[in-house]
A and B are shown apart, each in its own frame.
Chain A
Amino acid sequence: MAEPEYTMEPNSEREETKPAPEFQDPALGIDIGTSHCRVAVWNGFSVELLKNARNETASQSYVTFDGETPTGGIRNPLNDELEIFSGSAIFNIKRLIGRADTDPVVHASKSLPYMVQTLDIGARPFVAALVNNVWRATTPEEALTILLVELRSMAETQLRKTVRNVVLTVPVSFSRFQLTRIERACAMAGLHVLRLMPEPTAVALLFAHKLQQTELENMGSGSEKVALIFNMGAGYCDVCVTAIAGGVSQIKGVAGSPVGGEDLLRNMMHFLAPSGVEDIKLVGLFWIAFQHVIHQLSFQDFVTIQADYGSGTTIRTLLIHRTRFEEVNRKVFEECEMLVLQCICNAKIHVKEITDVILVGGCSHIPKVRNLVLNLCEKDVPYPGMNPLESAVYGAALEGAVASGLANSAGNLKLLSVHPITHPLGIKADGHHFVCIMQSNTAIPSRKELWFTTANDNQAEALIMVYEGEGNTVEENHLLGYFKIAGIPPAQKGCSEVSVVMDIDASNTLRVSAAASCPRSRQPLSPYLEVRMPNVDDGHGWCAEALINKYGSTLDLAIPKNT
């Protein structure tokens, strides 16, 4: 993702040596949503939203199969919404990508009309679409690639030039492993990822841009704004707190969780058809009906629908009140509340310092969601000037221009986003403890070093197992990769020193290096071994188990006793 070490991008070498390029194409901003995807680009003066063949700025994110060949919703939009829910289309890709089949989010996806098969062994789930009465298996990555290929060709047709560099928005809760799956899908689609940007930070950048424009118009004082951005879409809910002044958006804290509109839908489904619906066609019908209900409940107090429960004879009229809807989804709203509080806590600010609340995403229309966020932030109204559905892609396009080197003090784009890593990073030490090396709010780029010691006498080698996550033990966290360093001089346990360095560059690429060093002098004995993370593939849960089975604690590291 970062510097192109291998030729993902043929122009990169020339770009680096060029003395201040006159004009460089800005990277494309892409927002792949759980339900819809959008593309935008900085045209030198403003952000331009690109349109699909149907002249729409948003295309539905799904993939269908026309016999052998898969096609996405951009090239081949279906006229009948029911067809998407007939089992023949793969959608909700974003909720499945990079997740193992033991993940609760994958299990929750089993109620979708297409097939999600899990064997609960920690490997990739099977995903299949019903094509001509045959279940055709594919992978979430492949489905995403198809969408990206179509978005790319759509952009190339409109811009009349080849597109290579992109900035994608991603949910805050995505692990680094999931990010690599997105990168891989992009690589398969012939795209080079400049940045993967958490969605609310993209919105923050757009906000910074808007503030800058109004400042220019009003000759404003340019005082600092502290905004809380709440983004709840179909698949994910993300929150961030940003401090903005002079076009610099400094992200103070982020929080995110895989809850969204899909969960509201599923809860409604479970509530109204508790015994479950077997027929795929009916699932589709219910899905559409409840989407409509949730949408309507944002504007009115109750909705009536006619439901047919399978047999074709019993048609029931259902009256759904908003209060009932809120009750059924209480857990989801509690989770939202918790995210906002957690984010404010991470940002180390007081609620009173928040000057603006920005609500975006498809679920930001829901009155309950609006109220709870505004109440927590002690505000009456949200910031009005944000399009709830398009702001993320606008922000991505702005970041695309900034990351392509178009932002400078001379031009008309003077923006910068300083954002932190979203999950703590550390290694396994002292048994099964997760020892944090980089905290979650560390600004990108960053470099941190920590010293460890051996856990056994005369231990010559050490296994560095890199984890990501909030848990205190490694089992709760996500294995990103592992490597072994050798050449530790023989000594009693607790005497040798091993340095572990974590390095994150501007494009959020993580490199972990380690070396043994002379006790006390801190001079490395051998060259540092540097590994780019993640370096595990699907089924990474097995790796950790296999390593423990093979080596036990013989290659363990420990936290040094304080001198």
Chain B
Amino acid sequence: MIRSANPPQFLLLGTSRSAPCAALRWRNPARRKSVAVAAAATAAAAAGDLYEVLRVKRDATAVEIKKAYRHLAKTFHPDVARAASSGSDGFDFIEIHNAYETLSDPMARARYDDSIGVDGRLRFEEAAGMAIGRWRRWETDQCW
């Protein structure tokens, strides 16, 4: 119920990113690079979709999604990413986790599938229009 009024999360992240990044930038120079990297990586994801974030097919089963999430977590979670010196500050992981949150919940996934087109073809105009026009001000993906 909560997610019904919300646009898909990737849109939220895409549009509201400028704000938190601006806040981040002057905090830690090391983070700036990684945010830029993450932004570049997720720009593709935002233009693509949550399935691409998790690197699974549109018709992936719940088990596959879970597996993909775990696999990605083991690469992108800041705990392990630091060891692999990929410079991740957790931003990628947040993205991955958000995608997983939506796709692992059957209701949210169905709603999301609707928003990107039942046939699986992404309708950019519609998604973009939703971001600007029918956007609720409430922006958390879980609270409301």
Contacts and interface: CB of A to CB of B under 8 A. Distances in A.
Interface of A: 3, 16, 18-20, 224, 245-248, 250, 402-403, 405-409, 414, 416-418, 436-439, 441-443, 445-451, 499, 501, 503, 505-506, 513, 515, 517, 522-524, 527-528, 530, 560, 562-563
B20 A416 contact: no
Nearest to B80: A407
A443 B99 CA distance: 12
B112 to A, nearest CB: 18
Question: Dominant SS at the B interface?
Answer: helix
Contacts of B121: none
Most chain A C-beta atoms within 10 Å of own C-beta, residue among B28, B71, B94:
B94
Contact of B137 (A405, A416, A563): A563
Contact of B85 (A3, A19, A246, A417): A19
Given A445-B93, A446-B97, 9 more contacts: A20-B84, A247-B74, A407-B79, A416-B73, A418-B97, A503-B23, A505-B78, A527-B26, A528-B22
Contact of B80 (A416, A523, A530): A416
A562 B137 contact: yes
Interface of B: 15-16, 18-20, 22-24, 26-28, 30, 66-67, 70-71, 73-74, 77-80, 82-85, 89-91, 93-94, 97, 136-143
B89 A449 contact: no
A443 B97 contact: yes
B139 A405 contact: no
A11 to B, nearest CB: 14
Contact of B140 (A443, A450, A506): A450
A563 B27 CA distance: 34
| A-B pairs with lowest CB-CB distance, top 10 | A405-B83, A506-B78, A445-B90, A528-B23, A513-B23, A248-B70, A20-B85, A560-B137, A439-B142, A451-B137
A413 to B, nearest CB: 10
A398 to B, nearest CB: 11
Contacts of A403: 79
Contact of A405 (B28, B30, B82): B82
Contact of B78 (A409, A442, A445, A503): A445
A530 B23 contact: yes
A3 B90 CA distance: 13
A446 B89 CA distance: 11
A246 B142 CA distance: 27
Contacts of A20: 83-85
A245 B63 CA distance: 11
A263 B30 CA distance: 48
Most chain A C-beta atoms within 10 Å of own C-beta, residue among B67, B136, B140:
B140
Contacts of B67: 245
A25 B141 CA distance: 39
A414 B140 contact: no
A563 B97 CA distance: 29
A449 B16 contact: yes
Contact of B143 (A418, A439, A562): A439
9 contacts: A224-B66, A439-B142, A445-B90, A450-B140, A450-B143, A451-B139, A501-B19, A527-B26, A528-B22
Contacts of A442: 142
B114 to A, nearest CB: 21
Contacts of B136: 562-563
Contact of A506 (B15, B27, B79, B97): B79
Nearest to B31: A3
A505 B90 contact: yes
A445 B67 CA distance: 20
Contacts of A438: 140
Nearest to B30: A16
Contacts of A522: 15-16, 19
Given A248-B70, A443-B97, A445-B90, A450 B139 contact: yes
B27 A530 contact: yes
Given A446-B94, A563-B137, A527 B80 contact: no
A292 B78 CA distance: 46
Given A406-B83, A407-B79, A445-B94, A450 B142 contact: no
